[in-house]
Amino acid sequence: MDHFNYRNGQLHAEDVPLAQVAERFGTPCYVYSRATLERHFHAFDQALGDHPHLICYAVKANSNLAVLNVLARLGAGFDIVSQGELERVIQAGGDPARVVFSGVAKQEGEMARALELDIKCFNVESRAELKRLNAVAGKLGKLAPVSLRVNPDVDARTHPYISTGLKDNKFGIAASEALDAYRQAASLEHLDVVGMDCHIGSQLTELSPFLDALDRLLLLIERLEAEGIKLDHLDLGGGLGVTYRDETPPAPADYAKALLERLADKRGAHKPLTLLFEPGRAIAANAGVLLTRVEFLKPGETRHFAIVDAAMNDLIRPALYQAWQAIIPVEQRSSQETQRYDVVGPVCETGDFLGKGRELAIAPGDLLAIRSAGAYGFVMASNYNSRPRAAEVMVDGGEAYLVRAREAFSLLWAGEALLPESAGASHGEDS
Ligand SMILES: Cc1ncc(COP(=O)(O)O)c(C=O)c1O
Ligand SMILES: N[C@@H](CCCC[NH3+])C(=O)O
């Protein structure tokens, strides 16, 4: 569900016609809907009802400051994977006490900064990380709250590049090793064991892998309790999928209900564990579109190309995962005949496509919207081909705000330097 709809043949974001946004801010341009972001956050938050919980939005999905700010104002927590994401959360008004820090290779400096800000929890992914965190916390005279990310070896049945909960994946601590790792954590002086977490993959469209993972974690929690290691929270990660085309993922309410029921079944009268979730895509994907303009139509012998001004450097999901995202005209035309196009960008790679074989009625100069681009869109953009990054706009009711300007060309060489004139003087000389 989102707030991108046609009215009088014009695609709108909330009450703003997208053609107007393109006119004002240029293309390519990401457009986000505040109302959709809010609705998606509430869907999770309300689904948990009275059960103690915290929704920690996964910043990696979309780390635009305005997006983070919208969520911070709703009282969201945040799941981060780098100091960069932490600084963005703080800049956007997020509460560090609601931040959980995931990732397989946290550096000492990143740990120190997170400890200084007193974040809620470190989701630790290896024994070596436990030791490093203990040492950093010791040096700073801090007690680091930790949860161990357990790899439950559950098949998330998603794209192999975004499956994270299998033995073969680099993430987390194997379930078979977890008890021992918890004992180690509990023995380290500067660590405070507070939770357990897992994240088995992204774009999951079925409930069963989540439930299987939960069952495995609950077994471990029981064993830990028997040894006197008591946890306050259980973090079930993110991963809930969205509809890009015809997928039918469970709604956040059904997903939460199923997990709460399983928890009630298995934990009975135990003191309730606070539940944490780390949704990224389910909150942001359908809250954004990428606007692009048709530069040329290029008929070919075997296929026709619609060459647009957005490219794989702006949205890499189609090229990287063969992901399908809807591409629709911003202004509907009834008169033109449709044609099948490969929608491609200006980048010099055959892999630079945004969609293949799309039926469109378009002419050069027309605007297209690539849907479901609010998550893993701008954040994965690059400057490949020395292309500046697209603008980002947030729509709120009838207003459109520029929340990040299109990158200036000067940024493409900021921080670089030519070699000094003297360099290379000895080059090629006989020694
Ligand atoms: C640890 C962790 N938490 C949360 C997420 C967010 O996942 P999603 O966007 O699928 O909800 C990810 C990415 O898959 C992740 O690696
Ligand atoms: N970037 C991926 C999701 C990665 C999830 C991160 N753990 C995508 O666009 O589908």
Which residues are known catalytic residues?
348
- Is residue 210 domain-shared with residue 166, that is, in the same domain? yes
- Is residue 321 domain-shared with residue 213, that is, in the same domain? no
Ligand 2 mutation pick, 79, 80, 82, 161, max ligand atoms within 8 A of CB: 161
Of the ligands numbered here, which is closest to the C-alpha atom of 279?
1
- Is residue 9 domain-shared with residue 145, that is, in the same domain? no
For residue 336, pLDDT beyond 80? no
The answer, yes or no, to whether any atom of ligand 2 lies below 6 A from the CB of 317, is: yes
Asked if residues 395 and 13 have their Cβ atoms less than 8 Å apart, the reply is yes
- Is residue 132 domain-shared with residue 186, that is, in the same domain? yes
DSSP state of 369: E
Asked if residues 94 and 57 have their Cβ atoms less than 8 Å apart, the reply is no
Per-residue pLDDT averaged across 81-93, rounded? 98
Per-residue pLDDT averaged across 214-221, rounded? 94
- Inside any domain, residue 399: yes
- Inside any domain, residue 57: no
The residue among 277, 296, 323 that closes a domain is: 277
- Residue whose entry in the numeric block shows the structure tokens 């035309």: 333
The answer, yes or no, to whether any atom of ligand 2 lies below 6 A from the CB of 203, is: yes
Asked if residues 315 and 377 have their Cβ atoms less than 8 Å apart, the reply is yes
Helix (H) or strand (E) holding 234: strand 233-235
* Cα 119 to middle of ligand 1, angstroms: 19
Report the chain's mean pLDDT, rounded to a whole number: 94
- Is residue 221 domain-shared with residue 109, that is, in the same domain? yes
- Is residue 112 domain-shared with residue 218, that is, in the same domain? yes
Of the ligands numbered here, which is closest to the C-alpha atom of 315?
2
What is d(CA 199, CA 233) in angstroms, rounded to the nearest whole number? 15
- Is residue 122 domain-shared with residue 234, that is, in the same domain? yes
Of the ligands numbered here, which is closest to the C-alpha atom of 284?
1
The answer, yes or no, to whether any atom of ligand 1 lies below 6 A from the CB of 314, is: no
The answer, yes or no, to whether any atom of ligand 1 lies below 6 A from the CB of 237, is: yes
- Is residue 219 domain-shared with residue 357, that is, in the same domain? no
User: 153: which 2 tokens?
Assistant: 């070896």
**Tell me: the pLDDT tens digits for 279-288?**
999 999 999 9
- Is residue 291 domain-shared with residue 197, that is, in the same domain? no
Number of the ligand 2 atom closest to the C-alpha atom of 380: 1
- Is residue 241 domain-shared with residue 348, that is, in the same domain? no
* Cα 201 to middle of ligand 2, angstroms: 8
Number of the ligand 2 atom closest to the C-alpha atom of 164: 7
Helix (H) or strand (E) holding 47: helix 34-47
Asked if residues 326 and 332 have their Cβ atoms less than 8 Å apart, the reply is no
What is d(CA 82, CA 78) in angstroms, rounded to the nearest whole number? 12
For residue 177, say whether it is annotated as part of any ligand binding site: no
- Inside any domain, residue 94: no
Q: What sign has the CA pseudo-torsion 311, 315, 320, 325?
A: negative
- Inside any domain, residue 95: no
What is d(CA 366, CA 242) in angstroms, rounded to the nearest whole number? 28
- Inside any domain, residue 170: yes
CATH number of the structural domain spanning residue 374: 2.40.37.10
The residue among 277, 296, 321 that closes a domain is: 277
Q: What is the pLDDT of residue 167?
A: 76
Q: Which domain holds residue 375?
A: 4-31+285-412
Tell me how many domains the chain contains.
Answer: 2
For residue 278, say whether it is annotated as part of any ligand binding site: yes
- Inside any domain, residue 62: no
> Which residue spans within 257-377 are E strands per DSSP?
274-277, 288-298, 304-308, 327-329, 339-344, 353-360, 367-370
The residue among 277, 301, 320 that closes a domain is: 277
What is d(CA 17, CA 334) in angstroms, rounded to the nearest whole number? 18
The answer, yes or no, to whether any atom of ligand 2 lies below 6 A from the CB of 162, is: yes
Q: What angle do helix axes 208-226 and 175-187 make, rounded to 10 degrees?
A: 40
The answer, yes or no, to whether any atom of ligand 1 lies below 6 A from the CB of 202, is: yes
For residue 280, say whether it is annotated as part of any ligand binding site: yes
Q: Rg of the chain's alpha carbons, rounded to an integer?
A: 24
- Is residue 256 domain-shared with residue 300, that is, in the same domain? no
CATH number of the structural domain spanning residue 229: 3.20.20.10
For residue 257, pLDDT beyond 80? yes
Q: How confident is the model at residue 158 (pLDDT cuts 50, 70, 90)?
A: confident
* Cα 198 to middle of ligand 1, angstroms: 10
**Tell me: the pLDDT tens digits for 366-420?**
999 999 999 999 999 999 999 999 999 999 999 999 999 999 999 999 999 999 9
The answer, yes or no, to whether any atom of ligand 2 lies below 6 A from the CB of 320, is: no
Strand order in the sheet with 4-7: 4-7, 10-13, 16-17
- Inside any domain, residue 406: yes
For residue 239, pLDDT beyond 60? yes
* Cα 61 to middle of ligand 1, angstroms: 8
What is d(CA 171, CA 154) in angstroms, rounded to the nearest whole number? 12
- Inside any domain, residue 151: yes
Q: What angle do helix axes 127-140 and 108-116 make, rounded to 10 degrees?
A: 50
Q: What is the pLDDT of residue 426?
A: 65
Give whole-number Cα distances, 246 to 242, 289, 325, in Å.
10, 18, 11
For residue 384, say whether it is annotated as part of any ligand binding site: no
Per-residue pLDDT averaged across 76-82, rounded? 98
Sequence-distant contacts of 23-27: CB under 8 A, at least 24 apart? 24/400, 25/391, 25/393, 25/400, 25/402, 25/406, 26/391, 26/406, 27/291, 27/292, 27/293, 27/309, 27/310, 27/367, 27/390
For residue 293, say whether it is annotated as part of any ligand binding site: no
Residue 282: Cβ within 10 Å count? 28
- Residue whose entry in the numeric block shows the structure tokens 């993430």: 171
Q: What are phi and psi of 330, to 5 degrees?
A: -75, -30
* End-to-end CA, the chain: 71
Cβ neighbourhood burial of 51 (10 Å; 0-12, 13-18, 19+): middle
**Contacts of 159 by beta carbon, 8 Å cutoff, 6+ apart:** 203, 321
Per-residue pLDDT averaged across 214-229, rounded? 94
For residue 335, pLDDT beyond 80? no
Per-residue pLDDT averaged across 186-207, rounded? 96
- Is residue 231 domain-shared with residue 114, that is, in the same domain? yes
